[in-house]
């Protein structure tokens, strides 16, 4: 019967299993080599593409400096760790006893020793290599700390406790602590490795009778323990200085940094005593080399541990409980003062002195108040946070274009202007495929601008630059946008594949002529990018050829962060047309969390408001999230066409920036190289302002007792136009502060007292970089009971006309959106201005329909309540007339009471009113025609005629008789007069 075992039986064929043939071995070796080479190339591709990118943006020095610093730290500290551990293993092996004791413990270890004997060198090499790699990788992550230490410059300021320069805490102390951490790791690993080696070779015994350790093992391990305790002594000494930057929760100051009473009078002497005890204990451990006994070192170590518990823990707790708490305010007062002074310096608010502002009008004549309101501010009716859908609907032109959710505010020809770039929307491409996504649709087109203080008769923005290609006030400029906030995919341009430029009377194509991006003509480069981007078509696609360049890392914040990884990037990059090019302007900050006594703040939380929540595009890009020192040291620009990144020195006195400029020379251009046309568009950054306003809620108080009590603490109010309960954002606005003779482009915010809705303070900073007072913070402390933003919004919502308007709009299936609630100081009181938008069911964008104005005056002669006049009109002119009761305007309304009927609007001279309206309409048409032709002289004359017509309309009554509207009926067209608003003031912020 045949063998079913496959030839294993005696009668079956014998199968011989031999070595593979030479051809098979060669093939296997070749495949193995190719696999290794492929793995190496995959790892190399990321490095190589990074190098190509940095070289393409001309910041290769940043890449090489960072790379060599990391390599140097990796090599030095990895080698030191490997030597430390390897040497102690080798020494423990050399100090092994010649004969191991004949015990069960040692007999069981003999098997391991015998098994290890042939591979001792390889095991030693593997252990040292492993710990060296881990230590080196950890050390390379400290490249910022190393560069700051080796390049640090003096602050020229000393801390009040130790009288050391602030640079010691910002640059030196972090590096010393990293060295100390490395020393502890090396000592512990060496001690563990040496102890295991001594145990394996009989130098240490656990269960064997007799001595537990040989004299050699005792001496060796004692020295390592002495090194460890010596490092602990150094740690105690550094902890003394660390108290100046130690964080603690203090109810009066939040995240307090610096010494308090218990730190200065308990922890500081305790650390000094513990340092002395640790030094003595270390000497006792080293003495075992001669005494050969651990008795005294163990006693010393126990004393050190006990002292750490009693002196370092229990004693400070006793001091806090029985000395500080019974009279905390008096005890902490000197330290609170140091914290106040340091915090105000660290956040550049030390020059801010609150000015008392009564909230009581100093002008009683209504016509004078009305006249002054025209020059108090250029009231921005176009809210950049709301009108993006309007830009999208009127100026998108194609689905593959888009505007940002929140537009930007800038100045052109001295006027506040709302700006949005028509960027590429990859999701709107008609047919999605690899060629269309990355070769055909590559860029956006044009900057769209609208006057910030005007709308047309329908409530739409008055565009000063519009169309595709755009025309208007700017003249010719490079309109193609290859780099933008919405451009996050890579594009391959400049090769044989043509790009879609724009569509107007046919499809226009173009080919990129810029010098940015990485050249893909090289096959090796194409292969590297195919691997790095996991896109094999890059390697073999026929659409790539001579001249092809790959563009990526295309958002402005991403590019600035890459070329300056030591900067913290502001959340709001904004575009400006400068010198015939679209330039993204990016504000960047230098920060540290090592400023002694200055309280820390968390950037992510401090800079959050109703616009940033859920909008990562406007979130700060933080190099370190917790800081206690910040400066707007760098202004950066990114060219929207060729991606060129330029860093300009802005704060010439900042020691942190000077330190980084030493570390990365020739990367930051001097401030003098900023051209005047760029200077016109530089402004005070929002995130810096938000950090400062958050600190000023507490640190506007300079008296320690008042600071401790918190009686004058403020808070940033919630946005009254937003129901999410997030902080109100700051607003850019051209306005006059009390005592100013002309308007300045400013960044403003309001404060309310903690837990109360009334107005507590008003803050504005001169935001015009060309102004001699740029960066000057004005802080008004309101000394009377004045309604805050939330109260003004509630008052507005309670007006009968608002209820009627909302009811009519809802009946017409329209949504209501409240715009930015602007606050302007006016003659001792406060003027609130808020545009109101409506978006109908058949309209895809909101239109300005109403303007609410409220003037609050704490000086009420007829009673104790604050005079609060709130009106709701069709346009700004009517609203200002009505709120001050001039020119036959409608008397201010009272909040609607249940069961009462809203008053009707009185009629005036209809003929004069109709003529004024007709003249206003003609002036508006003439202005639009002049805009289309780019005739700014004619546009200015049209605006003057429009202002005259609106003034005559106001004098004639400014209102037609109201028409009752039945519920559910069609809403009347809001406003009988044109909604176009002239700029209320002829004066404007300087152009720089």
Whether 546 contacts 521, CB under 8 Å: yes
241 token code pair: 């200085």
Q: Which SS3 state, helix, strand or coil, does residue 323 take? A: helix
Residue 113 confidence (pLDDT): 67
Whether 777 contacts 349, CB under 8 Å: yes
129 token code pair: 């290599």
Residue 799 confidence (pLDDT): 87
Q: What angle do CA 369, 370, 376 make, to 5 degrees?
A: 80
Residue 109 confidence (pLDDT): 64
Spell 872-881 as b/e; 16+ CB within 10 A means b: bbbbbbbbbb
Q: How far apart are CA 133 and CA 654, in angstroms?
A: 37
Whether 258 contacts 245, CB under 8 Å: yes
939 token code pair: 């546009």
pLDDT band, residue 586 (cuts 50/70/90) = very high
Residue 862 has pLDDT above 50, yes or no: no
In eight-state DSSP terms, residue 469 is: T
Instruction: Compute CA 425 distance to the chain's CA centroid, rounded to the nearest angstrom.
Output: 24
Residue 253 confidence (pLDDT): 63
Per-residue pLDDT reduced to its tens digit, 537-558: 999 898 998 899 999 999 999 9
> Which uninterrupted H or E stretch holds 508?
strand 507-510
524 token code pair: 């090796």
pLDDT band, residue 207 (cuts 50/70/90) = low
Q: How far apart are CA 836 and CA 819, in angstroms?
A: 6
Average pLDDT over every residue of 460-478: 92
Instruction: Find the range with the poorest average confidence among 230-234, 425-429, 775-779.
Output: 425-429
Strands 744-753 and 731-735: antiparallel
What is the chain's length?
992
Average pLDDT over every residue of 229-255: 87
Q: How far apart are CA 726 and CA 795, in angstroms?
A: 20
Q: How far apart are CA 649 and CA 634, in angstroms?
A: 5
Residue 580 has pLDDT above 70, yes or no: yes
pLDDT band, residue 869 (cuts 50/70/90) = confident
Per-residue pLDDT reduced to its tens digit, 601-618: 988 888 888 787 666 677
Q: Which SS3 state, helix, strand or coil, does residue 464 take? A: strand
Percent of the chain with pLDDT over 70: 85
In eight-state DSSP terms, residue 616 is: G
Q: Which parts of 95-172 fold into alpha helices (H)?
A: 104-116, 120-140, 143-151, 166-167
Tell me how far apart the terminal alpha carbons of the chain are, to the nearest angstrom: 107
Average pLDDT over every residue of 19-45: 79
Percent of the chain with pLDDT over 90: 54
Instruction: Compute CA 714 distance to the chain's CA centroid, rounded to the nearest angstrom.
Output: 23
Residue 228 confidence (pLDDT): 95
Exposure on the CB side of residue 641, measured as CA atoms within 13 A: 20
75 token code pair: 């090599």
Whether 683 contacts 748, CB under 8 Å: no
Instruction: Find the range with the poorest average confidence among 48-62, 381-395, 628-642.
Output: 381-395
In which residue are the tokens 């194609």 written? Answer: 398
Q: Which of 988, 57, 45 is nearest to 516 (CA)?
A: 57
Residue 117 has pLDDT above 80, yes or no: no
pLDDT band, residue 107 (cuts 50/70/90) = low
How high is the mean pLDDT of the chain? 85
Omega within 30 of 0 (cis) for the link into 469: yes
Q: How far apart are CA 456 and CA 981, in angstroms?
A: 8
Compare 550 and 457 and report the one with higher pLDDT: 550
Spell 389-417 as b/e; 16+ CB within 10 A means b: bbbbebbbbbebbbbbbbbbbbbbebbbb
How many C-beta atoms lie closer than 10 Å to residue 26's C-beta?
11
pLDDT band, residue 867 (cuts 50/70/90) = confident
Q: Which SS3 state, helix, strand or coil, does residue 212 take? A: coil
Q: Which parts of 294-408 fold into alpha helices (H)?
A: 295-309, 315-319, 328-346, 366-376, 388-395
Average pLDDT over every residue of 916-932: 72
Average pLDDT over every residue of 873-888: 86
Could you tell me which residues come within 8 angstroms of residue 574 by beta carbon, excluding any fewer than 6 positions away?
Answer: 408, 410, 419, 584, 585
Q: How far apart are CA 114 and CA 120, in angstroms?
A: 10
């Amino acid at each position: 019967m045949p063998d079913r075992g496959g030839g294993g039986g005696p009668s079956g064929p014998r199968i011989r299993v031999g070595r593979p043939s030479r051809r098979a071995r060669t093939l296997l070796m070749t495949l193995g080599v190719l696999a290794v080479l492929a793995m190496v190339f995959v790892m190399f591709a990321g490095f190589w593409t990074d190098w190509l990118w940095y070289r393409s943006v001309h910041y290769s020095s940043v890449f090489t400096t960072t790379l060599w610093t990391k390599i140097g730290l990796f090599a030095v500290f990895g080698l030191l760790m490997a030597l430390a551990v390897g040497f102690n293993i080798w020494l423990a092996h050399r100090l092994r006893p010649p004969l191991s004791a004949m015990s069960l413990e040692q007999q069981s270890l003999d098997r391991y020793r015998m098994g290890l004997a042939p591979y001792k060198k390889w095991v030693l090499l593997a252990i040292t290599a492993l710990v060296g790699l881990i230590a080196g990788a950890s050390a390379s992550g400290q490249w910022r700390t190393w560069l700051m230490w080796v390049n640090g410059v003096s602050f020229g300021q000393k801390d009040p406790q130790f009288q050391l320069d602030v640079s010691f805490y910002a640059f030196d102390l972090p590096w010393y602590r990293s060295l100390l951490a490395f020393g502890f790791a090396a000592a512990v690993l060496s001690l563990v490795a040496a102890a295991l080696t001594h145990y394996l070779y009989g130098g240490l015994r656990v269960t064997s009778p007799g001595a537990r350790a040989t004299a050699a093992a005792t001496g060796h391990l004692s020295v390592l323990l002495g090194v460890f305790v010596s490092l602990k002594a150094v740690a105690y000494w550094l902890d003394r200085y660390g108290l100046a930057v130690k964080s603690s929760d203090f109810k009066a100051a939040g995240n307090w940094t610096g010494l308090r009473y218990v730190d200065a009078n308990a922890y500081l002497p305790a650390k000094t005593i513990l340092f002395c005890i640790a030094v003595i204990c270390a000497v006792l451990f080293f003495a075992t080399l001669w005494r050969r006994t651990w008795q005294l070192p163990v006693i010393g170590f126990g004393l050190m541990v006990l002292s750490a518990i009693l002196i370092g823990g229990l004693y400070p707790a006793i001091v806090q409980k029985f000395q500080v708490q019974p009279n905390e305010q008096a005890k902490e007062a000197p330290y609170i003062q140091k914290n106040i002074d340091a915090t105000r310096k660290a956040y550049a608010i030390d020059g801010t002195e609150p000015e008392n502002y009564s909230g009581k009008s100093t002008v009683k004549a209504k016509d004078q108040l009305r006249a002054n309101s025209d020059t108090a501010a250029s009231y921005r009716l176009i809210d950049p946070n709301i009108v993006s859908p309007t830009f999208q609907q009127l100026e998108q032109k194609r689905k593959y274009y888009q505007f940002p959710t929140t537009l930007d505010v800038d100045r052109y020809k001295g006027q506040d202007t709302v700006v949005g770039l028509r960027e590429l929307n990859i999701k709107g491409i008609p047919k999605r495929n690899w060629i269309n996504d990355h070769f055909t649709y590559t860029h956006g087109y044009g900057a769209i601008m609208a006057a910030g203080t005007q709308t047309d008769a329908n409530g739409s923005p008055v565009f000063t630059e519009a169309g595709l290609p755009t025309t208007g006030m700017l003249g010719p400029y490079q309109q193609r946008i290859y780099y933008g906030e919405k451009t996050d995919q890579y594009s391959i341009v400049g090769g044989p594949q043509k790009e879609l430029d724009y569509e107007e009377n046919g499809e226009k194509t173009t080919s990129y002529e810029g010098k940015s991006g990485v050249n893909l003509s090289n096959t090796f480069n194409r292969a590297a990018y195919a691997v790095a981007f996991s896109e094999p078509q890059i390697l073999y696609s026929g659409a790539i050829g001579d001249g092809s360049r790959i563009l990526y890392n295309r958002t402005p914040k991403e590019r600035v962060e890459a070329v300056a990884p030591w900067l913290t990037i502001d959340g709001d990059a904004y575009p400006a047309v400068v010198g015939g090019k679209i330039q993204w302007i990016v504000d960047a900050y230098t920060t540290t969390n090592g400023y002694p006594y200055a309280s820390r703040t968390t950037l992510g939380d401090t800079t959050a408001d109703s616009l940033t929540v859920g909008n990562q595009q406007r979130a700060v890009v933080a190099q370190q999230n917790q800081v206690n020192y910040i400066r707007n040291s760098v202004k950066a620009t990114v060219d929207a066409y060729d991606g060129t990144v330029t860093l300009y020195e802005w704060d010439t006195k900042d020691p942190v920036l000077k330190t980084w400029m030493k570390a990365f020379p020739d990367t930051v251009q001097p401030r003098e190289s900023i051209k005047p046309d760029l200077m016109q568009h530089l402004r005070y950054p929002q995130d810096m302002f938000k950090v400062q306003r958050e600190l000023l809620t507490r640190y506007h108080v300079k008296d320690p007792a008042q600071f401790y009590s918190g009686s004058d603490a403020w808070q940033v109010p919630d946005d009254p136009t937003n129901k999410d309960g997030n902080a109100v954002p700051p607003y850019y606005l051209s306005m006059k502060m009390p005592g100013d003779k002309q308007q300045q482009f400013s960044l403003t915010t309001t404060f309310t007292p903690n837990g109360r809705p009334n107005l507590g303070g008003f803050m504005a900073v001169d935001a015009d970089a060309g102004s001699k007072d740029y960066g000057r913070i004005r802080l008004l402390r309101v000394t009377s009971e004045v309604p805050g933003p939330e109260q003004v919004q509630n008052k507005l919502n309670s007006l009968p006309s608002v209820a009627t308007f909302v009811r009519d709009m809802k009946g017409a299936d329209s949504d209501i959106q409240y715009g930015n609630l602007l606050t302007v100081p006016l003659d001792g009181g406060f003027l609130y201005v808020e545009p109101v938008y409506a978006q109908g069911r058949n309209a895809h964008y909101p239109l300005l329909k109403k303007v609410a104005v409220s003037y609050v005056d704490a000086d009420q002669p007829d009673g104790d309540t604050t005079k609060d006049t709130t009106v709701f009109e069709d346009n700004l002119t009517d609203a200002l007339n009505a709120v001050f009761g001039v020119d036959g305007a409608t008397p201010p309304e009272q909040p609607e009471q249940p069961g009462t009927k809203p008053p009707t609007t009185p009629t005036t001279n209809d003929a004069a009113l109709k003529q004024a309206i007709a003249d206003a309409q003609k002036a508006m048409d003439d202005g639009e025609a002049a805009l289309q032709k780019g005739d700014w002289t004619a546009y200015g004359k049209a605006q003057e005629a429009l202002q005259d017509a609106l003034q005559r309309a106001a004098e004639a009554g400014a209102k037609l008789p109201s028409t009752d509207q039945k519920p559910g009926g069609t809403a009347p067209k809001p406003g009988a007069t044109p909604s176009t608003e002239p700029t209320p003031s002829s004066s404007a912020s300087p152009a720089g």
